[in-house]
């Protein structure tokens, strides 16, 4: 069996051209590669014997050379508000988490997927940021989260997932190739067929990769984890800002908007006595007018070992009113799944 780093190669990581070359080297017709890809990407196969239109001798060749390394459900928690958090174990023993966020009233069912094991950005308010960065997830591991959580959605809500947000563990743009491959997989009309407008990538702000994303043929939504509207404050909580400051980020976001014509979201966690003053609001207004923006104000969710506390409702309301007065689109978002550590910034494989 083919191995890399002492691990058998997951056939789902093999490109169609490479698979075609391999199959032809074994005396099999090249069109079989397309059939295999269809089984994997369109039908979700995780076993060679499921590929019933392949001859048995080819299936045996594939078994001898490749394997499947799907993620496995390790632990599931359900919040009193209906949110479901699932911890998955990967083939190499690492853990990741994904969250199903139901909004039954408007028939919206969102999965928050992880893109990395841990995170390298060390944002001071985030549980994942306190974890050691281990590795990026491959595209199949990202899509596995979708498929398994979609099964949960069918079981609990008799519905299919409607939205995908890359807001779980890790920085999606630092696992760029695998995230984009997963998005191609998710949006393939012959398979899952998720509309790109229902997929959102959330980033802490890597300007050069925002520019790269803007030029992709698949037009997904973009959310910036902003959390402070001046460089001094943002540097103090998000070290990535020291090399991707707000001026640089605004240029990249403007380019993204000009190429995509999609409104950009700012995620803004409201911390007590830190980023909800009138001055903070006016600084934020300046970042909202160069292109259409929706500001999502999010209450802070407690993280063990972190000294931040959430801003009070009066402070949040006052902050939001200033934004509205200056014609900024704003929502005040209630956190979901706090009781199971499934809310924004809380994912840390605690179970």
Q: What is the CATH number of the domain that holds 23?
A: 1.10.150.530
Q: What confidence tier does 13 reach under pLDDT thresholds 50, 70, 90?
A: very high
| Mean of all residue pLDDT scores within the chain | 92
pLDDT of 1: 63
Identify the sign of the CA torsion 186, 192, 196, 199: negative
**Across 82-103, average pLDDT:** 95
Number of domains in the chain: 2
- What is the structure's pLDDT at 3? 61
Question: What is the domain range of residue 142?
Answer: 72-340
In a domain, residue 349? The reply is: no
pLDDT at 285: 97
Between the alpha carbon of residue 194 and those of residues 71, 88, 145, 168, the distances in Å are 21, 22, 14, 19
pLDDT exceeds 60 at position 351? no
In a domain, 346, yes or no: no
Q: Is residue 344 annotated as part of the catalytic site, yes or no?
A: yes
| Angstrom distance (rounded) from CA 344 to CA 110 | 14
Q: Record the pTM.
A: 0.92
Out of 97, 171, 181, 267, the active site residue is: 97
* 38 included as an active-site residue: no
Of 19-28, 126-135, 283-292, 335-344, least confident by mean pLDDT is 335-344
Q: What is the CATH number of the domain that holds 93?
A: 3.20.20.70
Do 32 and 158 lie in one domain? The reply is no
Q: Does residue 224 share a domain with residue 137? A: yes
Which residue in the list 112, 123, 153, 344 is annotated as catalytic?
A: 344
Burial class (CB in 10 A: 0-12, 13-18, 19+), 314: exposed
- Binning pLDDT at 50, 70 and 90, where does residue 333 land? confident
Q: Is the pLDDT of residue 224 over 80?
A: yes
Same domain, 243 and 327: yes
**What would the pLDDT profile of 168-188 be if each residue is shown by its tens digit?**
999 999 999 999 999 999 999
């Amino acid at each position: 069996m083919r191995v890399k780093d002492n691990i058998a190669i997951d056939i789902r990581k093999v490109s169609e051209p490479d698979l075609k070359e391999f199959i032809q080297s074994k005396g099999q017709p090249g069109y079989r590669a397309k059939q295999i890809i269809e089984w994997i990407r369109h039908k979700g196969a995780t076993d060679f014997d499921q590929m019933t239109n392949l001859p048995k001798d080819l299936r045996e060749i594939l078994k001898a050379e490749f394997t499947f390394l799907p993620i496995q459900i390790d632990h599931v928690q359900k919040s009193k508000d209906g949110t479901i958090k699932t911890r998955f174990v990967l083939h190499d023993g690492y853990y990741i988490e994904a969250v199903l966020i139901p909004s039954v009233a408007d028939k919206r069912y969102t999965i928050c997927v992880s893109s990395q094991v841990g995170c390298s950005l060390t944002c001071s308010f985030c549980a994942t940021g306190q974890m050691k960065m281990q590795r990026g997830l491959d595209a199949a591991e990202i899509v596995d989260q979708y498929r398994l959580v979609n099964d949960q959605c069918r079981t609990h809500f008799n519905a299919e997932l409607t939205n995908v947000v890359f807001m779980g563990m890790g920085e999606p743009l630092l696992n760029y190739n695998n995230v984009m491959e997963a998005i191609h997989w998710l949006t393939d009309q012959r398979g899952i067929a998720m509309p790109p407008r229902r997929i959102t990538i959330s980033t802490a702000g890597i300007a050069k990769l925002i520019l790269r994303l803007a030029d992709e043929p698949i037009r997904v939504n973009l959310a910036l984890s902003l959390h402070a509207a001046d460089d001094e404050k943002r540097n103090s909580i998000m070290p990535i800002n020291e090399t991707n400051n707000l001026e640089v980020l605004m240029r990249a976001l403007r380019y993204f908007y000009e190429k995509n014509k999609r409104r950009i979201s700012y995620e803004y966690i409201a911390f007590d006595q830190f980023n909800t003053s009138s001055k903070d609001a006016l600084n934020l207004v300046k970042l909202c007018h160069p292109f259409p923006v929706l500001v999502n104000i999010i209450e802070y969710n407690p993280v063990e070992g972190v000294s931040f506390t959430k801003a009070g409702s009066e402070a949040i309301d006052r902050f939001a009113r200033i934004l509205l007065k200056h014609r900024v689109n704003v929502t005040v978002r209630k956190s979901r799944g706090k009781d199971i550590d499934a809310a924004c910034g809380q994912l840390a494989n605690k179970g």
